[in-house]
């Protein structure tokens, strides 16, 4: 706990733990913000106005408009300047996966950066700015730095704000802060960390602590991205180190609890009119899609941070392979609550229409910011959800605002919608804008004026009678403030009367008020019990919800009765309430809930599981495990999973393959150590159709973890299993001596100790006498790797025979030769001699590499002929050898460089030659002439210094390896570009790119993305003489007209003489992407793009 108190003390004194000087970059005042507003495209009926812009603010991550009209904005200056991204430090990844606490993350960072630790991570700060419009003209005219100095090495990006009754809640990893301005000067004098320990991983930039929202239960809800957390509380430790989650606590920070887990980066949260909680969760740039999620108590969405780094056998591992991010479908993993729909690409800010300011067509609508790094493809969606049983379906989605890089959105008390604009790209620009979107009639209506007055003045001085009337108010914020005030004055009788008789929304708010009041006197809920039998199903639902949430045990009979309600939503809340209270006699109705839910209603099934979790004892679960209904058995299984009970192993013998798979997931992934042996013994004979890999790979891995080499060998022998599984079994045996500390299925950090290989060496000899050696090329190649890893030299003669056998697959022959080389085989010389004259180039190339080790002189003698007329693999091998050779290689390197300078060397070999020459010049102290020749080559490219380093790799790459490069997380290519689907992306569709661009142009677009943006993606802003602004892409330009198309596909024709000024938009593609590539990787990437 020293870490927490040190940081808290430093920030209480208004300084960072590191005293380095830092001056944030903020752009000066200009007309850009006003001009850019003209490019924003609002939905019909909505108008815009500029509220604030740089230098009043910069780099706005989020905003919050409180009931007084004060606007708070979280400004980031640590983005990429104190807060880093794991994609920038891939050599730290293993340690990051192993981290379990913030302290471990800090120790890792310090160990890697050394003396740069303080300036790199402890200088730049985050801050909160308060902005006001004091004269009511609709433009900000006053600002204060409300709180600053959030610059500790552990600090993340400040990404969540909420102002309520003088408290400003602020989330900045690793803390949830409460800030207070004690003297009204616009600056917070008191700063208190309500909880700490968020952000145990570096993970990806922006996966922070955010989403602050006060629920109808007057508790504070917030979200944490997949940087995970390990929080010490008075009640114990709350830890989810490798997944995102939604949490809640009291407004003073007490009673912290995890609400929903398995999220990736849920940036904002919002409650609808009926108190249902929702969020938008980001995709992983791995072919998956962003998700619209109903956040429910005990919910699990399935994402794990470690999935981000899985590239094979399926990108993102189980997340993609098992379709965890897909909306509900048959056969889906049962332990998750799936998303409602796939929505947006970069969900960020989120709000809900409170009921005043717009017209009634927006009632019950959500507004979701879609941040894609480029304003042309970003904006705000508006939509509704509709109940579908206890689950939901997404209604029509429309663009409310477009062509703005909105980070956050909020309704102010004045009836306007405020949104923050990041301006451009993914990194900070020193700019930032706040705009207001408004409906002219709605904002100026009498109702909007009344709402503004009530929110500004507050409700706590109003009489109980007036507060009761306000429960019927059209604005959700007013109703909520009224029920908060009534609860705090313990107006139980008045709330009870209203809960029985009034409009639906008023009755719900009265119920929620009773729940709050019950925290002071539990008897306040006595009047809610009869409402569980109310004719209105939503009243029944909220009545049982409140009774359960506030632990009202006297309502147990009423809750139990509603488990069998006719309405799924009532059953949902009743089942969860039953589980919270552990209600006796609930097992049978909960069993029926599971039967009725089946696979059709994921929320209802989840509720049934939560009910059993709290109600079922061991004997009951055992009985339900044999129930005739597979849905009931699945429910019991999921309870065992949540309890990490080894008894779950019984389901590995279930007659339903889906239950077998679900049990395997639970045992392997949690993991449940007491049942891993059961999983390892599974025979893999009854497999779920289409989901074989999910089961078999977990069985294989359980055997690796458990040390069951014999079983792995037996599985490798099974001809009924797919070759991919048999190969993996052999590869596991090959890793036996020192297995990876990353789990082979989930990529989580689970270190395995080194083990004796004696048994595996014996098994290798057994396999050599089996059908494995006559299996597919992939299987035999895996076996050769096993022979080399186990150092089974007794098999060298067999390997030599394979090398010499022209009937064997080329890959097998090469693998056998490489295995012999690794073994130092006595037969290696014979195999090399036989292979140097082989008709297949790959075999000759492998032999040449081996010859260098056996006899460097002979290898050098053979090189001229190969350089003259060898196949591509041979010549590449020859260049690698030249780079490592002594003086005898110099003349060959110089001769090849002359050919390159003269343009006579095939372009496919340019990079191989240059790298060989560089290696030779580096290690030979008298190779000045080679170094000079390289200098001449570089000077000839002086006109293009940024491209010169890369141009030798324009041709000759491997498209398959290039696809792997393209899919790498640290490059994020998939985030913006299409190659094999029709998903809307920010960047150009790369399908057919080789027909549009030369290799050099492709290289240029990667290294210098802003030099020449791809046709159709270069945005241009036209400032017209009439002060209008047109933003779009030029389709055609002549002396007489300019045809421009905007992001909606609308074409506008401009008169060049009416254009006052034009400016090119920047590309959203990062300019530093090449720092994650070496030249060979770039060559492969260009080869992949060249095949599209």
pLDDT tens for 840-876 read 999 999 999 999 999 999 998 899 999 988 899 999 9
Q: Predicted confidence band at 728 (pLDDT cuts at 50, 70, 90)?
A: very high
Q: What pLDDT shows up at residue 984? A: 46
pLDDT score, position 946: 80
| pLDDT of amino acid 496 | 98
pLDDT in the model for residue 15: 41
**pLDDT tens digits, one per residue of 492-546:** 999 999 999 999 999 999 999 999 999 999 999 999 999 999 999 999 999 999 9
Q: How many CB atoms are closer than 10 A to CB 384?
A: 17
At 1065 the pLDDT is: 62
pLDDT at 1051: 85
Name the pLDDT band for 658 (thresholds 50, 70, 90): very high
Q: Give pLDDT, residue 1027.
A: 67
Average pLDDT over residues 194-210: 97
Judged on CB neighbours under 10 Å (0-12, 13-18, 19+), 127 is: buried
Q: How much is the pLDDT for 1048?
A: 60
Task: Examine the pLDDT at 976 and tell me if it is beyond 60.
Answer: no
Is the predicted pLDDT of residue 688 greater than 90, yes or no?
Answer: no
Buried b (16+ CB within 10 A) or exposed e, 1041-1053: ebebebbeeeeee
pLDDT tens digits, one per residue of 761-773: 999 999 999 999 9
What are the CA-CA distances from residue 895 to residues 914, 915, 1001 (Å)? 12, 15, 30
Distance CA 465, CA 229 (A): 45
Q: How high is the pLDDT of residue 980?
A: 54
Tokens of 507: 């009755």
Closest CA relative to residue 839, chosen from 874, 865, 812, 868: 874
What is the per-residue pLDDT for 1068?
A: 54
Helices marked H in 174-323 — which ranges?
Answer: 318-321
Candidate from 522-526, 579-583, 646-650, 877-881 with smallest mean pLDDT: 877-881
Q: Which residue has the higher pLDDT, 1078 or 318?
A: 318
pLDDT the model gives residue 943 = 57
The average confidence (pLDDT) of the chain is 92
Neighbours of 707 (CB within 10 A): 16
Q: Judge whether 1031 and 1021 are in contact, CB under 8 Å.
A: yes
**Gap between the Cα atoms of 175 and 84, Å rounded:** 17
What residue ranges define each of the domains in the chain, with the CATH number in brackets? Answer: 2-444 (2.120.10.30), 471-703 (1.25.10.10), 714-953 (1.25.10), 959-1015+1069-1090 (1.10.760.10), 1019-1064 (2.30.30.100)
Q: Using one digit for the tens of pLDDT, what is the confidence trace for 778-800?
A: 999 999 999 999 999 999 999 99
Q: What is the pLDDT of residue 1010?
A: 67
pLDDT in tens, 400-444: 999 999 999 999 999 999 999 999 998 999 999 999 999 999 999
Residue 1080 pLDDT > 60 = yes
The rounded percent of the chain whose pLDDT value lies above 70 is 93
Extract the tokens encoding 453.
């007055």
At residue 973, the pLDDT reads 61
Residue 1012 has pLDDT above 70, yes or no: no
* Percent of the chain whose pLDDT exceeds 90: 78
Query: Do 796 and 748 touch, CB atoms closer than 8 A?
Result: no
CA 258 to chain centre: 19
What are 887-923's pLDDT values in tens digits? 678 888 888 998 988 888 888 999 999 999 888 888 7
Q: How confident is the model at residue 1014 (pLDDT cuts 50, 70, 90)?
A: very low
Residue showing tokens 């993102």: 316
Residues contacting residue 845 through CB under 8 Å, at least 6 positions apart: 871, 873, 874, 876, 877
Our CA dihedral for 37, 43, 44, 50, rounded to 10 degrees, sits at -30
1038-1077 pLDDT, tens per residue? 988 999 887 566 788 999 988 887 776 655 556 667 777 8
* Eight-class DSSP state of 888: G
Secondary structure class of 214 (helix, strand, coil): strand
Per-residue pLDDT at 901: 86
């Amino acid at each position: 706990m020293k870490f927490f108190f040190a940081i808290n003390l430093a920030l209480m004194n208004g300084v960072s733990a590191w005293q380095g000087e830092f001056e944030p970059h903020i752009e000066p005042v200009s007309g850009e913000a006003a001009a850019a507003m003209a490019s924003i495209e609002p939905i019909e009926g909505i108008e815009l106005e500029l509220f604030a812009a740089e230098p009043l603010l910069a780099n706005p991550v989020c905003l919050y408009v409180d009931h007084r009209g004060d606007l708070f904005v979280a400004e980031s200056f640590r983005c990429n300047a104190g807060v880093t991204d794991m994609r920038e430090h891939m050599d730290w990844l293993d340690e990051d996966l192993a981290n379990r606490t913030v302290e471990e993350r800090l120790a890792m960072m310090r160990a890697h950066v050394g003396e740069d630790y303080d300036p790199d991570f402890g200088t730049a700060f985050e801050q909160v700015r308060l902005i006001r419009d004091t004269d009511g003209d609709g433009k900000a005219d006053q600002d204060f730095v409300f709180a600053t100095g959030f610059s500790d090495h552990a600090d993340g990006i400040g990404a969540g704000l909420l102002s309520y009754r003088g408290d400003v809640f602020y989330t900045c990893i690793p803390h949830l802060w409460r800030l207070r301005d004690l003297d009204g000067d616009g600056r917070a004098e008191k700063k208190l960390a309500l909880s700490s320990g968020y952000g145990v991983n570096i993970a990806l930039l922006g996966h922070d602590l955010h989403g602050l929202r006060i629920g109808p239960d007057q508790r504070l809800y917030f979200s944490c991205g997949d940087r995970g957390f390990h929080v010490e509380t008075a009640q114990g430790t709350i830890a989810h180190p490798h997944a995102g989650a939604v949490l809640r606590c009291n407004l003073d920070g007490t009673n912290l609890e995890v609400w929903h887990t398995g999220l990736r980066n849920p940036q904002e949260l919002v409650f609808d009119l009926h108190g249902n909680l929702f969020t938008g969760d980001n995709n992983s740039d791995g072919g998956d899609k962003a998700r619209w999620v109903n956040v429910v108590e005990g919910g699990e969405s399935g994402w794990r941070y470690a999935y981000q780094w899985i590239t094979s056998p399926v990108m993102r591992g189980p997340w993609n392979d098992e379709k965890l991010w897909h909306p509900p479908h048959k056969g889906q993993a049962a332990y998750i609550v799936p998303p409602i729909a796939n929505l947006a690409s970069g969900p960020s800010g989120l709000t809900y229409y409170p009921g005043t300011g717009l017209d009634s067509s927006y009632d019950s609508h959500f507004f979701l910011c879609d941040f894609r790094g480029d304003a042309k493809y970003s904006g705000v969606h508006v939509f509704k959800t509709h109940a579908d049983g206890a689950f939901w379906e997404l209604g029509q989605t429309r663009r409310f605002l477009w062509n703005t890089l909105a980070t956050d959105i909020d309704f102010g008390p004045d009836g306007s919608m405020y949104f923050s604009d990041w301006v451009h790209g993914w990194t900070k620009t020193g700019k930032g804008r706040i705009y207001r979107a408004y409906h002219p009639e709605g904002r100026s209506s009498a109702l909007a004026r009344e709402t503004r007055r009530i929110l500004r003045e507050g409700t706590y001085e109003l009489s109980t009678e007036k507060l009761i009337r306000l429960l019927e108010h059209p604005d959700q914020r007013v109703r909520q403030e009224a029920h908060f005030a009534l609860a705090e004055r313990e107006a139980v009788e008045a709330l009870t009367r209203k809960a029985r008789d009034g409009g639906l929304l008023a009755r719900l708010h009265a119920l929620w008020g009773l729940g709050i009041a019950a925290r002071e006197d539990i008897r306040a809920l006595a009047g809610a019990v009869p409402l569980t039998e109310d004719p209105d199903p939503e009243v029944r639902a909220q009545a049982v919800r409140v009774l359960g949430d506030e632990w009202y045990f006297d309502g147990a009979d009423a809750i139990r009765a509603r488990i069998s309600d006719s309405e799924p939503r009532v059953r949902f809340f009743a089942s969860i309430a039953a589980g919270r209270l552990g209600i006796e006699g609930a097992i049978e109705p909960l069993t029926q809930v599971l039967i009725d839910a089946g696979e059709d209603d994921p929320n209802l099934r989840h509720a049934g599981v939560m009910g059993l979790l709290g109600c079922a004892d061991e004997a009951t679960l055992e009985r339900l495990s044999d129930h005739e209904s597979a849905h009931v058995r699945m429910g019991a299984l999921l309870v065992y999973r949540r309890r990490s009970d080894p008894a779950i192993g019984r389901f590995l013998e279930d007659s339903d393959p889906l239950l077998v798979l679900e049990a395997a997931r639970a045992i392997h992934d949690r993991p449940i150590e007491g049942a891993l042996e059961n999983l390892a013994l599974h025979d893999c004979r009854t497999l779920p159709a289409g989901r074989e890999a999910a089961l078999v790979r977990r069985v294989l891995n359980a055997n690796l973890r458990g040390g069951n080499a014999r079983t792995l060998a037996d599985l490798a022998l099974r001809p009924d299993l797919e070759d991919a599984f048999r190969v993996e079994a052999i590869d596991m045996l090959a890793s036996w001596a020192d297995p990876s500390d990353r789990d082979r299925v989930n990529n989580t950090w689970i270190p395995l100790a080194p083990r004796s290989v004696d048994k595996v060496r014996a098994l290798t000899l057994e396999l050599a006498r089996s059908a494995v050696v006559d299996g597919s090329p992939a299987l035999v190649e895996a076996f050769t790797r096993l022979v080399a890893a186990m150092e089974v030299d007794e098999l060298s003669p067999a390997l030599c025979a394979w090398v010499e056998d022209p009937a064997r697959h080329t890959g097998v022959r090469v693998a056998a030769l490489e295995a012999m080389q690794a073994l130092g085989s006595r037969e290696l010389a014979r195999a090399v001699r036989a292979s140097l004259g082989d008709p297949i180039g790959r075999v000759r190339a492998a032999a040449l590499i081996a010859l260098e080790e056996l006899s460097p002189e002979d290898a050098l003698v053979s090189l001229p002929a190969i350089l003259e007329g060898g196949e591509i693999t041979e010549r590449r091998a020859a260049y690698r050898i030249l780079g490592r050779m002594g003086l005898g290689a110099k003349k060959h390197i110089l001769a090849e460089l002359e050919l390159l300078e003269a343009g006579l060397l095939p372009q496919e070999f340019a990079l191989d030659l240059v790298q060989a020459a560089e290696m030779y010049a580096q290690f030979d102290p008298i190779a000045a002439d080679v170094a000079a020749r390289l200098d001449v080559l570089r000077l000839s490219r002086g006109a293009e210094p940024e491209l010169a380093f890369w141009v030798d790799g324009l041709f000759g790459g491997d498209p398959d390896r290039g696809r792997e490069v393209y899919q790498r997380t640290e490059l994020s290519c998939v985030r913006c570009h299409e190659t094999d689907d029709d998903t809307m992306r920010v960047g150009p569709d790369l399908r057919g790119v080789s027909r549009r661009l030369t290799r050099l142009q492709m290289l240029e677009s990667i290294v210098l993305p802003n030099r020449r943006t791809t046709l159709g993606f270069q945005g241009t802003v036209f400032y017209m003489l009439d002060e209008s602004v047109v933003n779009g892409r030029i389709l055609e330009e002549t002396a007489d007209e300019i045809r421009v198309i905007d992001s909606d596909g609308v074409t506008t024709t401009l008169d060049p003489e009416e254009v006052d000024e034009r400016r090119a938009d920047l590309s959203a593609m990062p300019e530093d992407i090449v720092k994650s590539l070496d030249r060979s990787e770039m060559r492969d990437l260009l080869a992949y793009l060249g095949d599209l």
